[in-house]
């Protein structure tokens, strides 16, 4: 099924998890800087009308696990595996392009959380879109420095979901799952080789798999100065990556929803600045493609 980007009204669920004590502050700072820098206006920012329903969460997650989480009854072992976090928002992809100010919780498994992720927003979004018949094929593009192991596990052997993960070979998780396509990069990979791999792979997957929508985890932890990353992208490299991904998807007439993913720095303004490359690229391409 080929869906015109301007006609798609797909649902993007963003379950905002907390990867570090300052995480809630960083999400607020991203939002503030979007407005302060004129990247978007308040009228362009969608406030979700409701939280994801239990029925939607159960499309991916074990009902008992969801119940224990929602009633604050997770045992110590499950809490330890998660790392921490909470909150949820919902945002529609209208006219082919939307980006979130949080999300990308790719380490959560059906019955347990991991890597600071409680519920897998990418997986829930995918299952809702498929269940409602809005799409038939979904590409989950994960460029966070850590492999999206939860997402890969959830959609193993699923012909209607393609999981593409480009990540550090030697970083968390130690035990990696099998994505549809995994690209493990060596420590210290800089802008040139990194962007070349993404620029080569993404068009091929879009052409061969022909997804109806792309869910993009735009983690900024591949940055050279990231506290938990092992790659070596520059600020310019991140900016080029975001434009490359969004432009490529829109060029194939495929709607794309962006999630901020991981990123770790004690300076909130510096970290927010890295994340804003995604929103700035989206704003520019929104105008370029006439998506208003």
Report yes or no on 228 lying in a domain. yes
Residue 1 lies in a domain: no
The pTM (predicted TM-score) of the whole model is: 0.81
Sign of the alpha-carbon dihedral angle for 80, 85, 91, 95: negative
Nearest to 126 by CA among 223, 220, 213, 247: 213
Instruction: Encode 41-80: b = buried (16+ Cβ within 10 Å), e = exposed.
Output: eeeeeeeeeeebeeebbbbbbeeebbeebeeeebeeebee
What's the farthest any 2 CA atoms get from each other in the chain?
A: 50
How do the pLDDT tens digits run along the chain, 292 residues long? 333 333 333 333 333 333 344 457 888 899 899 999 999 888 888 777 666 777 777 777 667 766 666 665 555 555 444 333 222 223 435 458 888 888 888 778 776 666 567 788 888 888 888 988 888 999 999 998 988 889 999 999 999 999 999 988 887 666 777 889 999 999 999 999 999 999 999 999 999 999 999 999 999 999 999 988 899 999 999 999 999 999 999 999 999 999 999 899 989 999 999 999 999 999 999 999 988 6
Let me know if residue 2 belongs to a domain. Answer: no
Structural domain harbouring 48: 9-286
**CA gyration radius, the chain:** 17
pLDDT of residue 105: 82
Hey, what are 20's tokens? 């570090």
- 161-168/181-185 β-pairing: parallel
| Closest to 83 in 3D by CA, of 207, 192, 186, 173 | 173
In a domain, 64, yes or no: yes
Task: Report the pLDDT value the prediction gives residue 69, as an integer from 0 to 100.
Answer: 63
Query: Is the residue at 292 inside a domain?
Result: no
Q: Which pLDDT value is given to residue 173?
A: 63
pLDDT computed for residue 95 by the predictor? 59
Given this model, what pLDDT does residue 113 score? 65
pLDDT at 67: 64
Structural domain contains residue 173 = yes
Residue 4 lies in a domain: no
- Tens of pLDDT, residue by residue over 56-77, are 777 776 677 666 666 655 555 5
What pLDDT is recorded for position 168? 87
Q: How do 97-99 and 181-185 pair as beta strands? A: unpaired
| 74 within domain boundaries | yes
Domain count, the chain: 1
| CA 147 remoteness from chain centre | 12
| CATH code at position 178 | 3.40.800.20
The answer to whether residues 27 and 101 touch, using CB atoms and an 8 Å cutoff, is yes
């Amino acid at each position: 099924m080929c869906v015109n980007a301007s006609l798609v009204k797909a649902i993007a669920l963003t379950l905002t998890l907390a990867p570090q004590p300052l995480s809630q502050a960083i999400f607020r700072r991203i939002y503030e800087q979007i407005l302060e820098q004129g990247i978007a206006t308040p009228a362009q920012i969608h406030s979700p009308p409701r939280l994801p329903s239990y029925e939607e969460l159960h499309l991916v997650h074990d009902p008992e696990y969801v119940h224990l989480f929602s009633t604050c009854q997770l045992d110590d072992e499950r809490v330890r595996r998660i790392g921490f976090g909470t909150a949820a928002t919902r945002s529609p992809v209208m006219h082919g392009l939307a980006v979130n100010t949080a999300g990308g919780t790719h380490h959560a498994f059906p019955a347990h959380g991991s890597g600071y992720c409680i519920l897998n927003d990418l997986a829930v979004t995918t299952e809702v879109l498929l269940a409602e018949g809005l799409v038939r094929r979904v590409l989950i593009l994960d460029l966070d420095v850590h492999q999206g192991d939860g997402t890969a596990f959830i959609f193993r052997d699923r012909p209607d979901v393609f999981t593409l993960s480009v990540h550090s070979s030697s970083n968390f998780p130690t035990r990696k799952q099998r994505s549809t396509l995994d690209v493990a990069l060596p420590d210290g990979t800089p802008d040139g080789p990194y962007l070349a791999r993404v620029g080569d792979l993404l068009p091929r997957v879009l052409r061969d798999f022909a997804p109806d929508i792309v869910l993009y985890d735009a983690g900024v932890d591949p940055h050279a100065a990231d506290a938990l990353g092992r790659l070596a992208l520059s600020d310019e490299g991140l900016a080029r990556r975001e434009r490359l991904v969004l432009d490529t998807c829109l060029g194939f007439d495929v709607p794309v929803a962006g999630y901020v993913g991981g990123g770790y720095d004690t300076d909130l303004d510096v970290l927010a600045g890295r994340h804003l490359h995604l929103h700035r690229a989206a704003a520019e391409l929104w105008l370029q493609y006439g998506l208003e």
